[in-house]
Structure formats: C-alpha cells, structure tokens
Chain A
Amino acid sequence: MTAAPAEAQEIQLTGPLAGAPAVRQLRLHRAGRFEVAPGASFTLLDEYRRTIMPGLRLTYHFTDWLGFGAWGGYGFQYNAGLTDELQRVAIDGRNCDAQPFTKACQLTRVNLTKGDLTKDQLGQIQWVAAPQVTVVPFRGKLALFAELFVDTDVSFFAGAAAIGVKERKECGTTNQNACAETFGLESRMAFAPTFGLGWNFYPSDFIGFGAEWRALPFAWNTSGFDNHGLGTDEAFPDRKVDDKDREFHFTSMVTVSLSIQFPTGIKTTE
C-alpha cells in the first residue's frame, strides 16, 4: 500500500521537477480572506421533531489551512412520522379527556398530554451558536463528467456550541407540579462540543458552495417522557420529568451553504 504512492513521487524526486513545488499557481481560496457563508442545516435521525435551521458561518482564514470563526442558526421544526402516529393513536384515539378512567389513559397520564404533543412536550432545538476552529488539510480538484473542473477542499472544524433547547417543563409528584397535570415547554441553554467536516467547491475566485456534516452531542429529553429516575442505573420511571430523563443524543446535521470570500481578488502561489 505504501509503495504505489511513493512510485508516483519518484518521478518528481529524480526528474527535472526535482525540488519543484507539488502544485504551481495554486489558487489560495482561503488565505487572508474573510468568508461569509449563509446556509441551511437539516438535522438527521430525528425521533419526533425534525429541524431546518437557516444559519450563517463567518470565518477568517489566517492561512490557507487555518481559520477561526463562528457558526449559528435558528431552527424551524416539523413532525416526524412517529409524532403524527402518536398523536393519532395514543392521544386523539384514546380521548383521555373524556375517558380518563381507561387503563391506557391511567398508565400514560404522566407521559402523554391530552392536547397537542408538539406544543406540550416534544423537545426542539431553537437556536445554536458555535465559535469554532477550521482546519483545511486537503485541497484538490474535481472533474465532473470529464468536462467541468472545480477547485475543492475538505475542512474539519471543532468548537463549543451554546444550544437553545425547548423541553417539557420539569414536574414531580406533588399536587402543585404533578406531571399528570403539568404539560408545556420551557427553554434552557445547553452547552456541547461541536465538530464535523465539510466539502467545499470553488467554481469562481470568490464564490463557493459546500456541504458539511456536524455533530452536536448532548443530553436532552426529546419526548417529554418519564423514562428514568428509579432503580439500578435510574433505568425505570420515577413519575417525575426532570434532568434525569434527558438522554444522550449525537444530534447530527447536514448543512449546505454558499460561501463568499472577501476580498474578492484571489492570490495564487508562484
């Protein structure tokens, strides 16, 4: 596996190009430039609520391989299929307002609202803001249909994210905050690491586009259910909805963006 790449290099090492740079006239799409990249992010593998997040990435690139900046966005949600199914079967179908004495209604009164799931208990990501470092180790070019050629690079980024989350209100077992009667959402701010990688294309000197995958691993209660709190490893319901019911989610998303580099003039290597 190592011999073949070395062979490709031998030509340069021993030929007339010995000592020459690997790439001449390399267009430096990033070095010394400020990048403004509006885009939209789409969360992946959502259980109950999917998020579309219009956002913006701002990065200043000190060199062609290192930049500092921030990414953020504001989320809009829509239901996954499971949410609609739960609403139809477990809430509207059971009609626990009218028949609270049924077994199913008795057993689910802590976990299921009698109204609208999305307004009363399902968690959602409202916004994200994340300062981050970007490293660009791979630069190259792409031939599409052997006709169209674009400069391209692969970037890796990592940072810390502040996340605005809406989750079901905390509730307990007292008369004042009994979970069977306490539904509704409240906001909190969560902090999480964020990291990922992006693939960027540069059809012109100052405009590019790209796609990136981002992870936001943190614990939150997506369902509003009481799943944990009692027993070994708190693996059983305790009839309270609190921070023990938050579960770790990798929370990944894909972002597509348009990038504009300033100044618009581009430098090239010799």
Chain B
Amino acid sequence: MGLLVAAALVAVPLTASAQPKGQPKEINLDEPETPAEGTEPVEAPAAPTDGGEETGLGDICKIDPTACPTINLEKEAAKDLKNETYAVQQIYALRYHRFEVNPYFGLTMNDQFVGHNGPGLAVNWYLTNVLAIGVNGNWYGALNTPSDFNFQTSRAARIGEPITEYQWNANANFTYVPAYGKFAGFSDFIFHYDFFVLGGVGAISTRPMAVVDPDNRTFDWKPKLSFHVGGGLRIFFNRWFAAMFEVSDYIFFDELENPSVAANPQDKSTWLAEGKSFTNNVQAQVGLSVFLPFSWEYRLPK
C-alpha cells in the first residue's frame, strides 16, 4: 500500500507540472508532452523502505516543494484507497462535432441471381459523441452481374426468374453509437473499437432486366423510395483513422418484369408485373473511416 501511495504521490505532481496555473486544463494526447521550463521530470524515486521514508519525501519535495510539508506519508499510506476507475478512462477517439468521411465497397449478401456490388461513400456529422446525422450513397451502375446460379437454375428448370439491376441509391441517416471498447491484442498492443447502428430514408434507382421477352422489352431506370437500416463495427488505428465493417439493408418496393407476354408484346403497359415486390437489398460494406478534424482537445473529465 505504501508503495502505491508513494508512486501516486510522485505521479500527481508530474502531471500537474505540464499544466501550470493559468493554462486551460485540457489534454491533447496527440501532441508530445513537453514539460514546462524548470519542471523537467525527475527519475522515479526509489521505493521507500523501513526508515527510507526520507528518500521518498525528498524526491517529492524536489518535484513540488509546496506539497512537501503538507503530507504525512505514514498517515496517507494507512488510508483505505477508494479510487474510482472508469472502464475506459478516456474515449480514445472522440466523435463529438467531427465529420466522418467513410468510403466503402458494398457486396451483395442476399441476391443469388444478380450481384449488386459497388462503391459507396458516407459522410456523417456527430452532433454528440454518440449521435450523428449524415448521408450515404452507393453506385451500382454497370456493376450488376447476373450469377452462374441464375443461369443454371434457368437452364435446368426452364424458368425465367425476374431479376433487377440497380443504378444508384442515396440516403439521409441517423447514426447512433451505443457501445465502445478496447481490446488488448496478444497482451501486447491495445486497439479501440465501437459499434454503431443507423437508420434512414432515401431513394434507389432500379429497373428490371428483361428475361422473359428480351427482344421487345427494354426498361428505364426509375427511382423508388427506400428505407435504410444497418449496423457495424469500427476498429480505430489511431484517433482519426479506422477500418469499418457494416451490414446495411436497403428496403424498397421494386417493380418486376411481367412473366407473361401480351398479345401485343410491344405494348409497354404490359411489360411490368402487377403489384410491387417487397425487396431487401442487404449488403456488406467494408471500408475506411476518416474523422475530421484529425485532432481535438479533451473537454471531458478524465
């Protein structure tokens, strides 16, 4: 106990020395710590032993003479320590009032007939440390790829499964960060991560790919209302750069090709099937997050 108290007493003046009176009590952990003039750190004191108290106090007095006469080391050492320790002492990467720029690549997870892979970009502004508003968009363009599975199923069962291609989608979102934490890797290094969930509304531009009557039918792109829900994980490499993984579901009502051909196959009004198809476009999004500005000053209590 005495050892701990001695170490703590030494540590306190050291920290204080970097914050002379008159300066704001803010810590910028990205800047190298430069002690104020005349307050260069001294070596940690030797552990006090029986009768060695003077050595410990002597070192303390060198560091902060004002603390020297006010401390009865024996009395302090006898006290029970009730120090409060937070699970995460300071949030490693604060998000409050920062932009997040998040380029990613989306991979289709639930459409076995057509792959809708493509790049995307999200930009968020954190209103608080856990709540952000933002926008995101995906470009599918010419990247829609009918699968081998689609071909084989059509060939084997002689059916034409209505398929759709996507052009783009865009959404306005709220993002919430309910959980954060840190990991020790191989008991050697520490990295921080957080979970986020998001929801929003937007539009997606799609059109059917003519399968039943490709000789006569060509469809135009048409935007539809879409809803966006998702969640993901960010792993921070430093205070402004992270890798992210997200699963997002873009929910909309799609229009499909009519499986039957009318008497006049060139009558456009007969090309679409009746009703609309409830569609979930689930995609995995893998990318990077860059937080701007790169650095900040802590204004939260440690």
Q: Which A residues contact B (CB, under 8 angstroms)?
A: 1, 3-5, 7-9, 14-16, 18, 22-23, 44-45, 47, 65, 82, 85-86, 89-90, 104, 107-108, 111-112, 137-145, 149, 152-154, 223, 225-227, 237
Q: Does B181 contact A (CB under 8 A)?
A: yes
Can you name 7 extra interface pairs (CB under 8 A) apart from A139-B187, A140-B181? A4-B239, A15-B14, A22-B188, A85-B161, A112-B157, A141-B181, A143-B87
Chain B contacts with A in 19-42, Cβ cutoff 8 A: 29-30, 32, 41
Among A45, A139, A237, point to the contact of B184 (Cβ < 8 A): A139
Q: Does B152 contact A (CB under 8 A)?
A: yes
Q: Is the CB of B159 within 8 A of A90?
A: yes
Would you list 12 pairs from A and B whose C-beta atoms are within 8 A, ordered by A residue? Answer: A1-B241, A4-B30, A5-B191, A7-B30, A16-B7, A16-B10, A44-B109, A140-B184, A141-B182, A225-B152, A225-B157, A227-B155
Q: Does B299 contact A (CB under 8 A)?
A: no
- Asked if A89 meets B159 with Cβ closer than 8 Å, knowing A45-B110, A227-B152, the reply is yes
User: What 0/1 pattern do residues 159 to 195 of B give for CB contact below 8 A with A?
Assistant: 1010000000000000000111111111111110000
**Contact-size category for B:** 35 or more
- In the complex, what distance in Å separates the CA atom of A226 from the CA atom of B155? 10
Q: Is the CB of A111 within 8 A of B157?
A: yes
Chain A residues with Cβ below 8 Å from B149 are 47
Q: Is the CB of A7 within 8 A of B32?
A: yes
What is the minimal beta-carbon distance from A229 to any residue of chain B, in angstroms? 13
Q: Which B residues contact A (CB, under 8 angstroms)?
A: 7, 10-11, 14, 29-30, 32, 41, 44, 87-88, 109-110, 112, 149, 152-153, 155-159, 161, 178-191, 237-239, 241
- Asked if A138 meets B183 with Cβ closer than 8 Å, knowing A1-B237, A4-B30, the reply is yes
What is the minimal beta-carbon distance from B49 to any residue of chain A, in angstroms? 17
Chain B residues with Cβ below 8 Å from A89 are 159
- Asked if A142 meets B181 with Cβ closer than 8 Å, knowing A4-B239, A15-B14, A89-B159, the reply is yes
- In the complex, what distance in Å separates the CA atom of A227 from the CA atom of B148? 11
